[in-house]
Amino acid sequence: MKGMTGVVLAGGQSRRFGSPKAFAKLNGTYFFEIAVEALRAVVEDIYIVSHPSLVDCFRQHTAEKVIMDEERYRGQGPLAGIYTVMKESRTEWIFVLPCDMPYMRPEVAVKLAQYANEKFDAVICAHFGRIQPLVGMYHRRTFAQIEKLLQAKDNRMKSLLDRCHVRYVTEQDFWEDEIVFRNVNMPNEYGDIVT
Ligand SMILES: Nc1nc2c(ncn2[C@@H]2O[C@H](COP(=O)(O)OP(=O)(O)OP(=O)(O)O)[C@@H](O)[C@H]2O)c(=O)[nH]1
């Protein structure tokens, strides 16, 4: 989709996982590639936003653009990643996915993208009663609000959503299996799908 940039958030510490989650594999595919593939269904331009220790590793494994969280806000979580890409790319919308949802599917991105609408500041998945702030789209007009929160050291995605006009997309809008929104924090929380 024109006017939209894809973002894989991959700047976390993976402390609970014990090694960088982006480079864990499901069915032979790196987790971050699963997110890239989903985004690829709706955008041309994709950024992987990570931290300095992983940048070289990403560059060895992907042709996508790899950038680091803006230094000023480094360590402030996904909000810093979103801020960084909004600064870098000039598109109206950015479509965010985390690097730790290995069951994510391109169809989810395709269906969600249909809800991008000038009336909203953000379009966020909220299937089965669970808001997923890292699965959704943020309009460029949220940039000033994001910056304000980061400056105030309020890093909560919820703080941003509370200040935005959000379209929450639920299972009433389109059906998806619950598993696609499962995020992996510990090594024992996922397994290959045997077909
Ligand atoms: N760009 C960016 N992404 C982040 C940052 N913190 C977390 N993320 C990403 O946000 C998603 C959810 O991260 P979490 O599972 O909450 O945190 P984590 O640091 O990866 O894992 P833990 O260290 O175990 O908490 C993952 O895709 C992370 O890579 C950050 O500071 N910058």
The enclosing domain of 140 has a CATH number of 3.90.550.10
Ligand 1 in reach of 13 Cβ (< 6 A): yes
* The two structure tokens encoding residue 58: 């990403």
Query: How many domains would you assign to the chain?
Result: 1
Structural domain contains residue 179:
no
Structural domain contains residue 193:
no
What value does the mean pLDDT take over residues 28-36? 97
- pLDDT > 70? residue 193: no
Q: What's the farthest any 2 CA atoms get from each other in the chain?
A: 48
pTM of the model: 0.96
Ligand 1 in reach of 133 Cβ (< 6 A): no
Say how many Å lie between the CA of residue 195 and the centre of ligand 1: 30
Structural domain contains residue 195:
no
DSSP H or E run through 38: helix 31-40
Ligand 1 in reach of 185 Cβ (< 6 A): yes
Structural domain contains residue 182:
no
Structural domain contains residue 87:
yes
Structural domain contains residue 14:
yes
91-103 pLDDT per residue, tens: 999 999 999 999 9
Say how many Å lie between the CA of residue 48 and the centre of ligand 1: 13
Residue 191 — φ and ψ, nearest 5°? -160, 160
Say how many Å lie between the CA of residue 151 and the centre of ligand 1: 19
Residue 21: give the domain boundaries: 4-174
